[in-house]
Structure 1
Amino acid sequence: MSWLYELYETYNSNVDRIGEVEKKRNGQEYTLLPISHTTQNAHIEVDITEDGEFHSARVIDKNHASTLIPCTESSASRSGKKVAPYPLHDKLSYVAGDYVAYSGATDKKEQYETYIQQLEEWVHSPYSHEKVVSIFTYLNKKQLIKDLVNEGILFLDEASNLISKWNKNYEKIHGEKPEIFGVATGGQESAFVRFNVYSPTKLLDKVWNDKSVYDSFIQFYNQSAKDADICFVSGQVLPSTERHANKIRHAADKAKLISSNDSSGFTYRGRFDKSGEAVSISYEVSQKAHNALKWLIHRQGRMIDQRVFLIWGNDKEDVPDLHEDTFSFFPVDLSEQEIKSNTLENYANEISKAMDGYRNDLSTHSKVNILVLDSATTGRLAVLYYRNMNKELYLKRLNEWHQTCVWVHRYRKNEDNKYVSFYGTPATKDIAFAAYGSKANEKLQKELMTRMYSCIIDGRKIPQDIERNCFYRTSNPVSMDKWEWEKTLSITCALINKREGYGVALNDDINNRDYLFGRLLAIADVLERRALGPEETRATNAIRYMNSFAKHPERTWTTLQASLQPYQARLGTKALDLSKLIDEVASRFEIEDFNNKPLSGKYLLGFYSQRRALYQKKKKETTNEGENE
C-alpha cells in the first residue's frame, strides 16, 4: 500500500491547487479534484437565475465538456439499471422532472424522485449553498425538457416525444441535424446536463469551478455516518469504504485499482468472510489518493496503449523522466562544434552538470515514485511496476544511464523544426523504434518501455532480444528508408556501446576483428559515395551488401573490394588516402581473424566511428579551404 500512501501525501502537499484548472498540450483541461468529486463530460449547460427561473441553455463543445461534479460513493460506481444519482449535475433522465412525459419511459420515474430527494436533503442541511438552492428551486418545477425544447436544444418527434435517434425524415420538421446529436453519442436521452447560476448584476464563478460549492457538499456528505475501521494506509481509525474511484486514466475509464464486489468468486472468499477483513481503506485516503493519481497522470504521465507510465516526487512533482533522451534536458546542437573538435568529453561533463541541477534543494526525505498501470479487462486496473526510491539515488542511476548508453544522434528537431545533432542517450520510445520499426504496434512499445526500467534504475544489462533486434535491423539497411536506417544505426550503437564502452570517436588502438571489419565497410561506403557525387542518391555497394557482410565478412569483403576498383579509377589521386587507409586497417588483422565468422555488434561501432571520422575530416578540409580563400 506504499504507493497509495505516497499519493495520499502528494494530495496533502498540494491542497492549495485543488480546483485550479490546468491545460494539457492538446488543450484539454484538468484539475486536482476535491474529495467526493469526480469529472464527467457534459453535453448541455443550463443557466438558472438566482431566484430559480430558467435563463438560457447551450450545447457544449467537446473541448470544454469536462466538468467537475460532486458525487457519492454510490453514484461514482453506478452501472446498469442501478439508481444512484449524482448530487447536482447528472443525465437528463435524473434531473428532468418531466422526462417521463416526453419519453414515455415510466421506469425512469424513480431516477428523478431519488435525485430531487437527495438534492433537497443538501438544500435543507446546515451546509446548504445559495447556488444549489437556486438550482433545486428550478428543477423542482419539473419543466426542464419543456424549456430546453423551447430554447432549441432538444427536439421532439410528431408525437411530442424526444427523438431517440436522428434520421433524414426529421429534416422536414427541424431542418439540418441538430448539434445535440453530434455530442451526445447515445442520443438526447443520454445527454448529461450541468447547471450554472446567472446574475445580471454580479460576476459569479461557474458552479463547477466554485470552491465554496465544493466545500458545501463535502461538509454535507461527510456528516453522514460511516462505519469506522483502521485504515491500512494511514494507520488511523477512520470511516472506511469499499467503493473506490474509477475514471483514473480518462473520463471514460471504468477500470478500478481496488475492488471487492465479487462476493461469490474468489477475490477474498475462502480466506475472509468480508472484504474489509482482507484490507480496509478509509474513504478520505481513498479519495485523496485516487484524485492525486488522476491529477498526476494528466499532468505528467504518459500513456501508450492504455498503459500508464508515471514518475513523480513526493516533495516536488517534477523530476527528470527516465523515458526521455538526453536532448530533452540538455538541448545542445553538435553540428557546428563537431567541425572544430572531435572529442565529446566536454559534453559528457555538461550532461552531468545538467543532472546535478536537479539535486538542488534535496531534503533527507526526498523520494521518487515510479508507477506503471495497465488493465487486462475493462473493469480491473493493475499495478505492473512500483518503485519508491531515494531521489539522490534515482538521479545517480539516471546520470549513469545518460553517461554510458550514449552515441551521436541526428534525428531530433529543434524549436525551428530543423534536424540537430546531439550526443547522449536515446529515449525508450526510440529504442522501441530501433528494435521493432516505425510501424510497430503500441503493445510492443509499452512492453519494451516497461522492461527498460530495470536497465535504467538498477543498472542491469539491456535484454539480449532487444539488442539483437536492433542489430539485425541495422544490418539490413535496404529494408528501410535512409532516415530510418540512420536513426536505427545510432540508437543501436548506443545500446552496444553501453556494454562495450568504446566511445564515439574513432579509436585506432582497437584491433578487435569485428571493429576492424566495420571500419573497412565504412571506408568502402565513403569511397564509393565520393565517386558517385552528391547528385546520385542510390545506396552504395557497402550498404547493399551490409546484411551479407555481417554474416560472411571475409567473402563479402572480397566482392566489395572488387566493386571498388571502378570508383578508385574514377577518383584517381583523390582516392589515394582512402585506399591507403584500407590497407592500413587490413594490416591490423591477425591472419586467423580474417575469416567468415559472423560479426557482433562491435562492427557497427567501428563502421559508425570510421565513417564519422572521415566526414569530420572532410568538413574540416572544406572549412579551412573556405577560410584560406
Structure 2
Amino acid sequence: MTWLLNLYKTYEANVDRVGKIEKKYNGQEYTLLPISHTTQNAHIEVEVTEDGNFHSASLIDKNDSSTLIPCTEDSSSRAGSKIAPYPLHDKLSYVAGDFVAFGGKIKKEEPFAYYISQLQEWANSSSGNKKVRSIYQYLSKKQLIKDLVVANILCLDANGKLIEKWDKKYESLYDEKPPIFSVVAGDQSSAFIRFNVYSPNKILKKVWKDPEMFESFVNYYNELLGDEGICYVTGERLPSTDKHANKIRHAGDKAKLISANDTSGFTFRGRFAKSNEAVNISYEVSQKAHNALKWLINHQGKMIEERVFLVWQNNDLDIPNPLDEDPFSMNSTPVKNEAFTNKEFAREVAKALEGYKNNLSLDSHVNILILDAATTGRMAVLYYRNIDKELYLDRLKKWHSTCVWIHRYRKNEDNQYIESLGAPPPKEIALAAYGSKASDKIVKGLVERILPCIIDDRKIPLDIVRSAFQRASNPVSMEKWEWEKTLSVTCALINKQEGYDVALDTENMDRDYLFGRLLAIADVLERRALSSNETRATNAIRYMNAFSKHPERTWNTIQSSLQPYQAKLGAKAIYLSKLIDEVASQIDFNDFNNKPLSGKYLLGFYSQRYELYQKKDKNDAQEEVTN
C-alpha cells in the first residue's frame, strides 16, 4: 500500500492545483481532478439559459473534447447493460427524455428515469447551485433530441427516427454526410453530451471548469457515502469503497489497479468472506490517489506502448527522470578537444545535482513506478521503489558518470547533430541492442530491465550487452548513421563494465583494446586515401565482424589490403603506418591469435579513431591559420 499512500500524500501536497487546467507539449489539456470526478471525451455541447430553456448546441472539436465530469462510484465503473448514470454530463440515451420517442433502443429499463431522478436530488439538495438547477429544469422537459434536431446536430430518417449509421440511402434526405457521423464513432445514440449555462448579461465559467460546481457535487456526494471502515492505507476510520477508478492512462483506458471479482473469477473466496477483508480502502484515499496518479502521468510520465514509467516526489515535482535524454538539464555536456576523463564528467554531473540535493526535507523520498495492463480490464504495478532522495541522486550520478561515452546522435536547438559526453537513455540502449525497427513491446521490456540498473545499481544484463556488441561489430548490416549510434551506445555499456576513460589510453596493454586500436588506424588510413565523394565502407569496416571473431587471421587480410592505399598516400601515410607498427608491437606474441575479442576492442577502436580525427582537425585548422 506504500505506493497508494504516497500518491495520496502527493494529492494533499498539490491540492492548490485541483481543477486548474494545464497543457501537455501537444496542447492537450489536463488537470488534477477533484474527488468524485473523472474525465470523458464529449461529442456535443448543449447550452441552456439560466431560466432552464434551450439556447444552442454545437459539435465539439476533438482537441477540446476532454471534459471534467462529476461521477459516482457506480457510474465510474459501469459496464455493459448496467444502468449507472453520471450525475450531470452523460450519453444521449441517459440525458434525453425523448430518446425512446425518437426511436432510441434500450435493453431493459429507460436510463433517463434514473438519470433525472439523481440529478433532481442534487439540484434540490443544500449543496445544489443555480447552474445545476438550470440544467435540471431544462432536461426535465424531455425535449433534448427535438432541440438538437432543430439545431441541425442530430439527424432523423424519413420516419422521424434517429439514424443509427450513415448510409447512402439517406442521401435523398441530406445533401451531404452530416458532421455528427464524423464526430461519433458509433451511432448517434452513443454521443456524449456536456452541458453549459448561458447568460446574456455576464460571462459564466464553463460548467466543467467551474470550481463552484466541483465543490457543489463533492459536498452533495459526501453526504451519500456508505459505512465507515478501517482504511488499510491511512489506518483511519473512513467511508470505504470497493469500486475504484479506471481511465488511469487516458480517457479511453478501462483497466483498473484495484478490483475484486468473486462472482465469476473467485478472486478472494476461500480466504475471505468479503472483498474488503482482503483489502479495505476508503473512498477519499482511493479517489485522491488515483486522481494524483492520472495527473502525474500527464504531467511527467513516460509511456511506451501503454506501459507507464513514472518518477515523482510527493512535495516536489522537479526531480530528474532516469529515462530522460538529459535528466539534469545539462544540455548534453559538449566534448572538449583535450582528454576528458570520467572523473571530470562526474564533477559536472555533481554540479548539476547540487540544486536538487540542496532541497532536502524530512520527507525527501522519490517514488519510481511502472504500470502496465495485461488485459483491457486489469492493470498491474510491475515495479515500485520508494527511495531516499539523496541516495536516488547518488545512483543517478553514478550511472551517468560510469555508463558514459561520446555520442553524436543528440541534436542542438538548431536541429544539428553535436558531439556530447554522457550516458545513453534506456530507450537508446534498447534500439542499440535490438535495432531501430524494434517493436515498442520489445523496447518497453528492455527499458523496464534497465531501470533497476540505474536505480538499484545492478549490473546491466549480459544478454543486452552481448546483443549490442554483436550489432556494433557488424556495421555492414545497417546504415552508417545507425551503426555510429549503436557503436557509441555499446561503448557506453561496455565502459560501465570495464571502467575505462573515454580518452585514448596509450598505456593500456590489454590485447583486445590494442586490436581495436589497430582496426581503427586501418580504417582511418584507408578513408583518407579515398576521394571525398566516395562513401563505400573501408575494408576495416567490412571485415569488422570477422575481425571480432578471428582477429589474427582477419588482420592479415586487412593489412594486405592497406598496401595500395599506403602507396596512394605516399608520405602522408608514414605516421599512420608507424602507428600500426607501434600498436602491433605492444601486443604480446602469445596474444596475437584468433581468440575472439571482447567488447574492450570497441573501446580501443572508438577512442583511437576519435583521437586520429581530432588530430587531423587540429592540423587542418593550423594549416588554414598558416596560409
Q: Which residue does the alignment assign to 1:183? A: 183
Q: Which residue does the alignment assign to 2:163? A: 163
Gaps of 5+ in 1: none
Structure 1 position 343 matched with structure 2 position 340: yes
Gaps of 5+ in 2: none
Structure 1 position 386 matched with structure 2 position 390: no
Deviation at residue 27 of structure 1 after TM alignment:
1.5
Alpha-carbon distance between aligned partners in 2 of 1:627 and 1:356, rounded to the nearest angstrom: 42
Aligned with 1:617 (options 615, 622, 625): 615
Deviation at residue 178 of structure 1 after TM alignment:
1.5
Specify the SS of the correspondent of 1:383.
strand
Q: Percent identity?
A: 65
Residues 327 and 422, structure 1, Cα contact 8 Å, conserved in 2: no
Alpha-carbon distance between aligned partners in 2 of 1:210 and 1:287, rounded to the nearest angstrom: 19
Alpha-carbon distance between aligned partners in 2 of 1:399 and 1:71, rounded to the nearest angstrom: 44
Q: What is the one-letter code of the residue matched to 1:360?
A: N
Q: Which residue does the alignment assign to 1:550? A: 548
Q: Which residue does the alignment assign to 1:24? A: 24
Deviation at residue 261 of structure 1 after TM alignment:
2.6
Residues 494, 558 of structure 1: alpha-carbon distance in 2 compared, 3 angstrom cutoff: same
Deviation at residue 106 of structure 1 after TM alignment:
5.3
Structure 1 position 488 matched with structure 2 position 477: no
Alpha-carbon distance between aligned partners in 2 of 1:70 and 1:429, rounded to the nearest angstrom: 38
CA offset digits 1:376-395 (Å, max 9, x no partner): 11110000000001101100
Deviation at residue 67 of structure 1 after TM alignment:
0.2
Q: What is the one-letter code of the residue matched to 2:369?
A: L
Q: Which residue does the alignment assign to 2:255? A: 255
Deviation at residue 403 of structure 1 after TM alignment:
0.6
CA offset digits 1:401-436 (Å, max 9, x no partner): 001000000001111111111101000000001000
Q: Which residue does the alignment assign to 2:317? A: 317
Q: Which residue does the alignment assign to 1:229? A: 229
Deviation at residue 266 of structure 1 after TM alignment:
3.1
Q: Which residue does the alignment assign to 2:512? A: 514
Residues 104, 512 of structure 1: alpha-carbon distance in 2 compared, 3 angstrom cutoff: closer
Deviation at residue 624 of structure 1 after TM alignment:
1.4
Alpha-carbon distance between aligned partners in 2 of 1:153 and 1:122, rounded to the nearest angstrom: 28
CA offset digits 1:274-305 (Å, max 9, x no partner): 00111110000000000000000011101111
Deviates more, 1:206-215 or 1:20-29: 20-29
Q: Which residue does the alignment assign to 2:154? A: 154
Alpha-carbon distance between aligned partners in 2 of 1:89 and 1:135, rounded to the nearest angstrom: 10
Residues 372 and 383, structure 1, Cα contact 8 Å, conserved in 2: yes
Residues 99, 243 of structure 1: alpha-carbon distance in 2 compared, 3 angstrom cutoff: same
Alpha-carbon distance between aligned partners in 1 of 2:589 and 2:325, rounded to the nearest angstrom: 42
Alpha-carbon distance between aligned partners in 2 of 1:458 and 1:577, rounded to the nearest angstrom: 47
Alpha-carbon distance between aligned partners in 1 of 2:158 and 2:477, rounded to the nearest angstrom: 63
Specify the SS of the correspondent of 1:47.
strand
Q: Which residue does the alignment assign to 1:59? A: 59
Within 5 Å, give how 1:194-343 maps onto structure 2: 194-326=194-326, 329-332=329-332, 334=334, 337-338=336-337, 341-343=338-340
Specify the SS of the correspondent of 1:156.
coil
Q: What is the one-letter code of the residue matched to 2:602?
A: L
Alpha-carbon distance between aligned partners in 1 of 2:494 and 2:287, rounded to the nearest angstrom: 46
Q: What is the one-letter code of the residue matched to 1:350?
A: E
Deviation at residue 591 of structure 1 after TM alignment:
0.6
Alpha-carbon distance between aligned partners in 2 of 1:93 and 1:233, rounded to the nearest angstrom: 38
Residues 109, 591 of structure 1: alpha-carbon distance in 2 compared, 3 angstrom cutoff: same
Q: Which residue does the alignment assign to 1:462? A: 460
Deviation at residue 169 of structure 1 after TM alignment:
2.1
CA offset digits 1:422-462 (Å, max 9, x no partner): 10100000000100000001111111111112211121111
Alpha-carbon distance between aligned partners in 1 of 2:106 and 2:10, rounded to the nearest angstrom: 46
Within 5 Å, give how 1:520-559 maps onto structure 2: 520-559=518-557
Structure 1 position 594 matched with structure 2 position 595: no
Q: Which residue does the alignment assign to 2:367? A: 369
Deviation at residue 28 of structure 1 after TM alignment:
1.1
Q: How many residues align?
A: 626
Structure 1 position 445 matched with structure 2 position 443: yes
Alpha-carbon distance between aligned partners in 2 of 1:315 and 1:110, rounded to the nearest angstrom: 47
Alpha-carbon distance between aligned partners in 2 of 1:66 and 1:195, rounded to the nearest angstrom: 13
Deviation at residue 24 of structure 1 after TM alignment:
0.9
CA offset digits 1:350-407 (Å, max 9, x no partner): 2220122211221122110000011111110000000001101100100000010000
Q: TM-score when scaled to structure 1? A: 0.98
Residues 332, 434 of structure 1: alpha-carbon distance in 2 compared, 3 angstrom cutoff: closer
Within 5 Å, give how 1:469-484 maps onto structure 2: 469-484=467-482
Q: What is the one-letter code of the residue matched to 1:279?
A: V
Specify the SS of the correspondent of 1:12.
helix
Alpha-carbon distance between aligned partners in 2 of 1:37 and 1:296, rounded to the nearest angstrom: 16
Q: Which residue does the alignment assign to 2:172? A: 172
Within 5 Å, give how 1:62-101 maps onto structure 2: 62-101=62-101
Residues 41 and 192, structure 1, Cα contact 8 Å, conserved in 2: yes
Deviates more, 1:529-538 or 1:593-602: 529-538
Residues 146, 205 of structure 1: alpha-carbon distance in 2 compared, 3 angstrom cutoff: same
Deviation at residue 556 of structure 1 after TM alignment:
0.4
Residues 321 and 327, structure 2, Cα contact 8 Å, conserved in 1: no
Q: Which residue does the alignment assign to 2:141? A: 141
Q: Which residue does the alignment assign to 1:405? A: 403
State the Cα RMSD in Å.
1.2
Q: Which residue does the alignment assign to 1:396? A: 394
Residues 228 and 239, structure 1, Cα contact 8 Å, conserved in 2: yes
Residues 476 and 547, structure 1, Cα contact 8 Å, conserved in 2: yes
Residues 421, 106 of structure 1: alpha-carbon distance in 2 compared, 3 angstrom cutoff: closer
Specify the SS of the correspondent of 1:99.
coil
Specify the SS of the correspondent of 1:103.
coil
Aligned with 1:503 (options 497, 501, 504): 501
CA offset digits 1:88-120 (Å, max 9, x no partner): 000000000000011153547520000000000
Residues 209, 361 of structure 1: alpha-carbon distance in 2 compared, 3 angstrom cutoff: same
Q: TM-score when scaled to structure 2? A: 0.98
Residues 479, 327 of structure 1: alpha-carbon distance in 2 compared, 3 angstrom cutoff: farther
Alpha-carbon distance between aligned partners in 1 of 2:138 and 2:552, rounded to the nearest angstrom: 88
CA offset digits 1:585-619 (Å, max 9, x no partner): 00001111000000000000000000000001001
Q: Which residue does the alignment assign to 1:119? A: 119
Q: Which residue does the alignment assign to 2:579? A: 581
Residues 521 and 542, structure 1, Cα contact 8 Å, conserved in 2: yes
Residues 524 and 560, structure 1, Cα contact 8 Å, conserved in 2: yes
Deviates more, 1:253-262 or 1:471-480: 253-262
Q: What is the one-letter code of the residue matched to 1:463?
A: P
Alpha-carbon distance between aligned partners in 2 of 1:159 and 1:327, rounded to the nearest angstrom: 63
Residues 411 and 419, structure 1, Cα contact 8 Å, conserved in 2: yes
Q: Which residue does the alignment assign to 2:559? A: 561
